[in-house]
């Protein structure tokens, strides 16, 4: 075997010995499992209005966008969604990307110059970490959710130079909230920009589901930039950045993950726009998520698992180790319940856990049964 393939084989063996092999499991269109693994918080991926809007636009435009919007033209669908997203998120303007990952890469890079100090929360998502890396700017990793540590880093390393503080609003693995108001007090006092990834908060928190930044009263501030994905509560695919018009202009002119990437398909954009309409009116679904957050924490606590009521839709339960986490998730799956299984390097602190993402589209009976199954399958 060629040398490089031998080397890959050795690395695969090491991953297997550490219990860190990943498995692609088949999924059918009518997969009967109760889904607490996906991020379809409001149950909109299959909403009839969403499917109808996407199908109509699929007929009109065909499958793909065929090129970037700068090369092939910007459809009414893209423009209308951006306008709706900007209104919803309370920002001056918005720009969509073909994924949340690419929105984060492009945004972090777009906010940084060679002189900038980036201060990135230790628990940030891979897309924010990679954005810091490709920006080429100096990056300081701040202890998790600590405005005091962020302030100390800015004071020590950023006097007289531009700085950007990078955080999620709802952290994707543990589901806890960033102290956004306190972080903003720190950044605004020092002339720094605050970048917040609202991926797990958009649709779930804030008035009309307008997200964590909006819930913290920070929407529309000129020194706050928000990113989000269109793939979670909005049930589709794509990403968005919302902020001052001058920053969006900067991204259109210079953002490599916008310029050199084929635009998200018009049909998906139309489906997401329909989902956004449903989302804004879906206070009942958000109330159900809150009730389920409490129900899940109570059920797990009464079975002896330490679980606090999650502030949004993500609840993590510790597993003794990576193999135990995999076995636990597999046992749940065998009994018809899909849950996320998170192990290093997907967890920020080297531990392993099950991640439950709440889903308002699941029936009450299925949800209660799923909690029983998770408890009964525990290692
Ligand atoms: C916090 C966070 N940001 C960004 C992303 C990336 O979004 P997308 O899946 O649309 O690329 C994810 C997960 O998918 C996420 O959890």
CA-wise closest residue to 275 among 30, 37, 42, 27? 42
Report the distance separating Cα 281 and Cα 66, nearest Å: 33
Report the distance separating Cα 217 and Cα 15, nearest Å: 44
Q: Is 115 a catalytic residue?
A: no
Out of 168, 174, 176, 261, the active site residue is 168
Q: Is 376 a catalytic residue?
A: no
- In the predicted model, is pLDDT for residue 348 greater than 80? no
Taking only the tens place, the pLDDT of each residue in 301-328 is: 999 998 899 999 999 999 989 899 999 9
- In the predicted model, is pLDDT for residue 147 greater than 70? yes
Out of 99, 104, 124, 125, the active site residue is 125
Distances, alpha carbon 141 to alpha carbons 119, 137, 226, 285, 364, in Å: 6, 12, 20, 36, 41
pTM: 0.97
| Residue 312, C-beta contacts closer than 8 angstroms, at least 6 positions apart | 170, 175, 177, 200, 201, 204, 205, 212, 289, 293
| Residue 19, C-beta contacts closer than 8 angstroms, at least 6 positions apart | 321, 322, 323, 326, 343
> To the nearest whole number, what is the mean pLDDT of the chain?
96
Looking from the CA of residue 171, the nearest atom of ligand 1 is 1
Report the distance separating Cα 253 and Cα 250, nearest Å: 5
Query: Given 3-state DSSP classes, what are the helix, strand and coil percentages for the chain, each rounded to the nearest 5?
Result: 45, 15, 40
Q: What is the pLDDT of residue 1?
A: 67
- In the predicted model, is pLDDT for residue 246 greater than 70? yes
Looking from the CA of residue 102, the nearest atom of ligand 1 is 11
Task: Sheet with 337-342: list strands edge to edge.
Answer: 34-36, 337-342, 352-357, 314-319
Best mutation site among 127, 172, 204 for ligand 1, i.e. most ligand atoms within 8 A of its Cβ?
127
Best mutation site among 99, 171, 229 for ligand 1, i.e. most ligand atoms within 8 A of its Cβ?
229
Strands 34-36 and 337-342: parallel
Q: Which residues of 320-350 are buried (b: 16+ CB within 10 A; e: fewer)?
A: eebebbbbbbebbbebebbbbbbbeebbbee
Out of 35, 82, 176, 197, the active site residue is 197
Under the banding of pLDDT at 50, 70 and 90, the label for residue 351 is confident
Q: What is the pLDDT of residue 347?
A: 80
Out of 98, 104, 135, 172, the active site residue is 172
- In the predicted model, is pLDDT for residue 174 greater than 80? yes
80 within 8 A of 274, measured Cβ to Cβ = no
Taking only the tens place, the pLDDT of each residue in 77-120 is: 999 999 999 999 999 999 999 999 999 999 999 999 999 999 99
Which class for 68: exposed (0-12), middle (13-18), buried (19 or more C-beta within 10 A)?
middle
Bridge partner list, 148: none
Q: Is 188 a catalytic residue?
A: no
CB atoms within 10 A of CB 224: 24
Pocket of ligand 1, beta carbon within 6 A = 99-101, 104, 125, 127, 168, 172, 197, 199-200, 229, 231, 239
Q: Using CA positions, which residue lies closest to atom 2 of ligand 1?
A: 199
């Amino acid at each position: 075997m060629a040398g490089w393939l031998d080397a890959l084989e050795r690395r695969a063996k090491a991953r297997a010995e550490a219990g860190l092999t990943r498995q692609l499991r088949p999924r059918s269109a009518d997969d009967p499992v109760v889904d607490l693994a996906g991020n379809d918080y409001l149950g909109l991926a299959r909403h009839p209005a969403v499917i109808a809007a996407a199908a109509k636009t699929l007929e009109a435009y065909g499958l793909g966008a065929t090129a970037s919007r700068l090369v092939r033209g910007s459809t009414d669908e893209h423009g209308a969604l951006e306008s709706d997203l900007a209104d919803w998120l309370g920002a001056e303007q918005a720009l969509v990307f073909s994924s949340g990952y690419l929105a984060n890469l492009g945004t972090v890079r777009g906010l940084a110059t060679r002189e900038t100090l980036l201060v990135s929360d230790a628990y940030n998502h891979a897309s924010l970490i990679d954005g810091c890396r490709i920006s080429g700017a100096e990056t300081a990793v701040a202890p998790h959710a600590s405005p005091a540590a962020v302030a100390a880093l800015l004071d020590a390393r950023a006097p007289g130079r531009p700085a950007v503080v990078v955080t999620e609003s709802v952290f994707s693995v543990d589901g806890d909230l960033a102290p956004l108001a306190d972080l903003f007090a720190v950044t605004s006092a020092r002339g720094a920009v605050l970048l917040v990834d609202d991926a797990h908060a958009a649709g779930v928190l804030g008035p009309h589901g307008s997200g964590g930044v909006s819930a913290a009263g920070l929407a529309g501030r000129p020194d706050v930039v928000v990113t989000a994905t269109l793939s979670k509560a909005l049930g589709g695919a794509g990403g968005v950045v919302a902020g001052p018009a001058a920053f969006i202009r900067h991204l259109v002119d210079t953002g490599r993950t916008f310029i050199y990437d084929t635009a998200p398909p018009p049909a998906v954009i139309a489906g997401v726009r329909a989902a956004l309409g449903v989302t804004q009116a879906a206070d009942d679904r958000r109330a159900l998520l809150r009730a389920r957050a409490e129900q899940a924490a109570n059920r797990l606590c009464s079975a002896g698992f330490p679980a606090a009521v999650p502030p949004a839709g993500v609840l993590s339960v510790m597993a003794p180790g990576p193999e135990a986490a995999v076995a636990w998730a597999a046992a749940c799956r065998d009994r018809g319940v899909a849950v996320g299984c998170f192990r290093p390097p997907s967890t920020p602190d080297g531990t392993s856990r099950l991640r439950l993402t709440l889903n308002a589209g699941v029936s009450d009976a299925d949800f209660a049964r799923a909690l029983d199954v998770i408890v009964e399958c525990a290692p």
